């Protein structure tokens, strides 16, 4: 069964894109190219879920899109749905 988690990505003043998955602590990525951020988030999320499963723990619940913030004082977030096989 696929897992689905939202990632949030924001752009710094310097143009660096910083992304994270709020429901998966420690899953973060940064790059000047959005596709690279999304790819790294997907890889890190899969690895974390693999470790969680290996310990026999339940997968973290995924927050619905409307429960996620739209941005902060630095600007808006871009949301990306990660589908993890």
CATH code where residue 69 lies: 3.30.160.250
Structural domain count of the chain: 1
Q: Beta strands of 1-85 (E only): which ranges?
A: 3-11, 17-20, 28-31, 71-72, 75-76, 78-84
Residue 2 has pLDDT above 80, yes or no: no
The pLDDT score that the predictor gives to residue 85 is 77
Q: What's the pLDDT tens digit per position in 4-49?
A: 999 999 999 999 999 999 999 999 999 999 999 999 999 999 999 9
pLDDT band for position 81 (50/70/90)?
A: very high
pLDDT band for position 1 (50/70/90)?
A: low
- Select from 75, 85, 57, 19 the least CA-distant residue to 6: 19
Range of the domain at 77: 3-84
């Amino acid at each position: 069964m696929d897992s689905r988690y939202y990632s949030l990505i924001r752009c710094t003043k310097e143009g660096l894109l910083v992304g994270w998955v709020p429901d998966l602590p420690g899953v973060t990525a940064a790059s000047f190219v959005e596709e690279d951020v999304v790819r790294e988030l997907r890889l890190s999320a899969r690895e974390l879920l693999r470790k969680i499963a290996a310990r026999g723990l339940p997968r973290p619940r995924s927050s619905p899109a409307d429960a996620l913030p739209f941005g902060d004082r630095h600007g808006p977030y871009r949301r990306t749905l990660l589908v993890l096989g």
